[in-house]
Structures are given as structure tokens and as C-alpha cells.
């Protein structure tokens, strides 16, 4: 009897060992596989309100991955992408993300927008699937730190503080007014910026918060004009900022020194919509290099080869893909979600992209960009003047 039990137990143990070995050799783990193509899921607005910007961003992302594949991929493993349109809708992004989870992707990348990520993170976090570098300033991506979520775009409030610090240091402290589009975090942005102006030796005169869909910006511009400020700080969507600047032109108002803005307006679409005279007074921050300075970079060449225009969104798409492939290469041939995450956490001042400043992550900080570029305008285009640390 005992011998039979031992024999049966031995058979069971052998069977279990065979099963475990079989699982290991097939290479299937939660969040990616250790052999075969490296599969990445992309949920991105290809249609809808922001499709015109996010579509090219996605094409630039895929173009970089194709470029890497042509060079042999990641240690011989091809990068494949599954791109699904979410039309800038959180619900569709959730559906897409569930699909990626069931497909066993290694990571979810290439998102464009600030509405979708907060809906995607709760699906990916419990499964520890990396969610990498969405093009949207969303605080919940990196505060509090989620083990699997990494960001490259500082919040607009932090960018404005950096922009104020740089401008006051290089153009002189002065008086400032601020105009904002009403958003849930607008009060925090106003407080941060006000404090920055005062700390830098300036005087914060007034702030105006404009509801979305405002039909006439004249009252706000007339009030700003009456204060004769040295600086006007723009904390708005690019469309509203362009409208304000156009009304400033009609009202013959310009600040004594500069307009100051964040990466929300460091786009060629904004520049092309405003009066050229005021455009030359613009100082704006950006997480990526200016297009005119990026033409000779690897990304510049890959973007042009893909038949795309080199601009802010395409540089983001390609540059973030560069950071991803740099991490995949370092993680090694048997890259998994876990190894990708731990690789990123180990980075200090890594030159992972020729479009972004050096990137630093740690287990307690998943916002990788510690500096932003400062842009000016020359010959109807943004150009890179300097770099400035990200505040906060």
C-alpha cells in the first residue's frame, strides 16, 4: 500500500515537473513572451478631435520601430505593434487595452491625449504591464508612482514655472498676468506660477480663467492691456491661446517683453495661427527638441523617410519610440514586462533619444524628464534656445 502511494506520488511529481518545464520552454509569461516578436499595444486617436495630430504621431512611432526592425530588431527579435483607434475616448481606450491584455503584449505604448490614460492605468497596473510615455500631461501617471507606468511629459504647471524662471533670469524680472483655460487643476497651476513669479523677483498682477467655448476674449485682453504687464503667461489650449493672441493683435496690445507658454503651445499649428509680430516675443517650453533643430537627428531622418512632416507630435512619437527601444535593448533578448520595468528604473541621465534630454527614472520617480527645452521663434519657426530644469 505504501509503495503504491509512493509510486503514485512519484508519478504525480514527475508529471508536475514536466508541466512546469513545458510552460517555461514555451516562453509565455504574463505581460509578454521571452521569444518570438516583441509585441506592443498602441491605443491612439487616429480619428476624432485630435486625430490630425495623433495620427502622424503614431506613424512616426511605428516608423522608428520599423527602422529598428530593419537593423535586426532587438537582439534578433522583431518589434510588432497592434494599433487600435480610440478616437480620443476613454471608453474605447479601455476596450482596446483589454484586447492588448488578452493578446499578452509586452507593453502598451504610443498613447496620445490626457483623457484616456487615467482609464487605462487601472487595467494595466494590477497586471504589471508597462504603460509607457503617453503624450499627455497627466499627473496620475507618475504621482503617486505606479510600478508599471512611466511618463516623459512634465505637467504644464511645472513647465510654466520653469519657463518663468528661465525668462526672468535671462530677460529680467517684471510684472506678469496670466490667462488660463478652465481645467480641474487650473488653481494649482495658477498658485505654482504665481509663487514662481514672486520668488524670481517679479510681481504677479492678475490671473484670468476663461471657460471653454468662450465666444469673445476681448474683455480679458482689455483687462490685461489696462495693467501694462511685462509678461503675459498663457496657460491655455493651443486653440484658445491662439484666439487670445489674435484678439491682442486686434486690440493693439502686447506685453512689454514676452509671451510665456508651455509645450501646449510650442506647436507649429499654434504658431501658424497667430500674428507674426507677437510670435517673435514668444518663449515656450517643450520636452522635445525644436523641429528645425531635429532635422539632422536620427528621428528627423526616419520621420522624413516615412513621408511625414518633422513637427512636435511626430518628434514625440519617434523620440518616445527611441526611448522604448533603448530600454528593450538593455533589457536583453528575454525581455519581459518585469525586466523592462526594472531596466527603466535603473536609468540615470541616460541618452536614450536624440529628441529628449537625458532621461532619469527610479523606483520612486517615474517622470523621466528632468529638463525641458526653451524655445524662441525665429523665421516663423520655433528654435531651441536653452534647456532649463523642471521645477517641482
Partner 1 sequence: MSLAISVIVSGISFGLVIGIVGFGLVFLYKTTGVANFAVGNMAMFETFIVYELWKGGIGIWPSVAIGMVLGGVFALLVYLGALRPFDGRGNSNLLVRTVALYLLLRAMADVFFGSNQPYNFPQLLPHSGFSVGPVDIAWADLITIGIILAIGGAFAAMFRFTDIGLQLTAVSQNAPIARLLGVRVRRLSALAYVLVGMVALVAGLLVAPKQLLSSNMMDPLLLYGFAAAVVGGLTSLGGVFVGGIVVGVVTNLVSTYVGGDLALASAFVLLLATLAVRPHGLFGSPSIQRL
Residues that bind partner 1 (CB under 8 A): 51-52, 182, 208-211, 213-220, 222-223, 225-226, 239, 242-243, 246-247, 249-252, 269, 272-275
Which residues fall within 8 angstroms of residue 217, CB to CB, at 6 or more apart? Answer: 210, 240, 243, 244, 247
Which residues fall within 8 angstroms of residue 127, CB to CB, at 6 or more apart? Answer: 30, 31, 101
Distance, CA of 146 to CA of 193 (rounded, Å): 27
Give me the helices (H) in the chain, please.
2-26, 51-70, 90-103, 117-124, 156-171, 186-199, 218-227, 238-250, 268-271, 276-279, 291-294, 298-305, 312-331, 337-345
Distance, CA of 74 to CA of 330 (rounded, Å): 9
Give 86's DSSP letter: -
Distance, CA of 197 to CA of 260 (rounded, Å): 12
Q: Between 79 and 112, name the residue whose CB sits nearer to partner 1.
A: 112
- CB of 210: closest distance to partner 1 in angstroms? 5
The distance of Cα 13 from the centroid of its chain, to the nearest Å, equals: 50
Burial level of 250, CB count in 10 A (0-12/13-18/19+)?
A: exposed
Q: Between 6 and 49, name the residue whose CB sits nearer to partner 1.
A: 49
From residue 199, give the alpha-carbon distance in Å to each of 195, 303, 348, 375: 6, 41, 29, 22
Q: Between 80 and 249, name the residue whose CB sits nearer to partner 1.
A: 249
- CB of 331: closest distance to partner 1 in angstroms? 38
Q: Between 69 and 246, name the residue whose CB sits nearer to partner 1.
A: 246
Q: Between 22 and 215, name the residue whose CB sits nearer to partner 1.
A: 215
Q: Between 169 and 218, name the residue whose CB sits nearer to partner 1.
A: 218
Beta bridge partners of 371: 389
Q: Between 145 and 182, name the residue whose CB sits nearer to partner 1.
A: 182
Helix (H, G, I), strand (E, B) or coil at 62: helix
- CB of 368: closest distance to partner 1 in angstroms? 30
Q: Give the largest Cα separation in the chain, rounded.
A: 101
Instruction: Provide Rg for the chain, Cα atoms.
Output: 24
CA neighbours within 13 Å on the CB side: how many for 172? 7
Q: Between 208 and 383, name the residue whose CB sits nearer to partner 1.
A: 208
- CB of 87: closest distance to partner 1 in angstroms? 12
Is the distance from CB of 175 to CB of 391 less than 8 angstroms? no
Q: Between 60 and 151, name the residue whose CB sits nearer to partner 1.
A: 60
- CB of 31: closest distance to partner 1 in angstroms? 36
Could you tell me the three cell numbers for 331? 533589457
- CB of 153: closest distance to partner 1 in angstroms? 22
Amino acid at each position: 500500500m505504501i509503495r503504491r502511494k509512493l509510486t503514485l506520488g512519484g508519478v504525480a511529481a514527475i508529471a508536475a515537473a514536466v508541466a512546469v518545464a513545458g510552460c517555461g520552454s514555451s516562453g509565455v509569461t504574463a505581460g509578454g513572451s521571452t521569444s518570438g516578436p516583441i509585441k506592443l499595444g498602441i491605443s491612439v486617436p487616429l480619428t476624432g478631435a485630435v486625430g490630425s495630430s495623433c495620427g502622424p504621431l503614431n506613424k512616426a512611432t511605428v516608423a522608428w520601430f520599423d527602422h529598428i526592425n530593419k537593423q535586426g530588431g532587438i537582439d534578433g527579435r522583431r518589434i510588432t505593434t497592434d494599433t487600435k483607434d480610440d478616437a480620443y475616448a476613454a471608453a474605447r481606450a479601455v476596450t482596446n487595452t483589454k484586447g492588448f491584455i488578452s493578446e499578452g503584449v509586452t507593453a502598451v505604448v504610443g498613447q496620445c491625449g490626457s483623457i484616456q490614460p487615467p482609464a487605462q492605468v487601472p487595467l494595466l497596473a494590477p497586471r504589471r504591464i508597462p504603460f509607457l510615455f503617453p503624450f499627455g500631461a497627466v499627473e496620475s501617471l507618475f504621482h503617486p508612482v505606479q510600478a508599471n507606468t512611466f511618463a516623459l511629459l512634465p505637467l504644464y504647471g511645472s513647465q510654466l514655472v520653469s519657463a518663468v524662471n528661465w525668462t526672468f533670469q535671462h530677460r529680467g524680472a517684471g510684472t506678469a498676468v496670466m490667462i488660463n483655460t478652465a481645467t480641474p487643476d487650473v488653481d494649482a497651476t495658477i498658485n505654482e506660477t504665481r509663487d514662481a513669479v514672486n520668488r524670481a523677483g517679479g510681481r504677479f498682477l492678475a490671473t484670468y480663467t476663461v471657460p471653454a467655448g468662450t465666444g469673445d476674449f476681448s474683455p480679458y485682453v482689455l483687462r490685461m492691456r489696462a495693467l501694462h504687464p511685462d509678461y503675459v503667461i498663457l496657460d491655455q489650449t493651443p486653440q484658445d491661446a491662439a484666439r487670445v493672441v489674435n484678439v491682442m493683435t486686434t486690440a493693439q496690445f502686447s506685453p512689454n517683453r514676452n509671451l510665456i507658454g508651455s509645450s501646449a503651445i510650442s506647436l507649429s499649428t499654434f504658431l501658424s495661427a497667430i500674428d507674426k509680430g507677437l510670435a517673435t516675443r514668444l518663449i515656450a517650453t517643450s520636452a522635445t527638441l525644436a523641429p528645425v533643430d531635429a532635422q539632422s537627428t536620427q528621428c528627423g531622418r526616419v520621420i522624413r523617410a516615412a513621408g511625414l512632416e518633422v513637427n512636435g507630435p511626430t518628434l514625440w512619437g519617434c523620440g518616445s519610440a527611441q526611448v522604448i527601444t533603448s530600454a528593450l535593448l538593455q533589457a536583453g533578448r528575454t525581455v519581459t514586462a518585469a525586466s523592462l520595468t526594472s531596466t527603466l528604473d535603473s536609468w540615470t541621465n541616460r541618452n536614450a533619444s536624440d529628441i529628449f534630454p537625458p532621461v532619469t527614472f527610479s523606483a520612486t520617480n517615474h517622470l523621466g524628464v528632468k529638463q525641458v527645452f526653451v524655445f524662441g521663434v525665429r523665421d516663423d519657426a520655433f528654435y531651441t534656445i536653452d534647456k532649463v530644469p523642471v521645477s517641482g
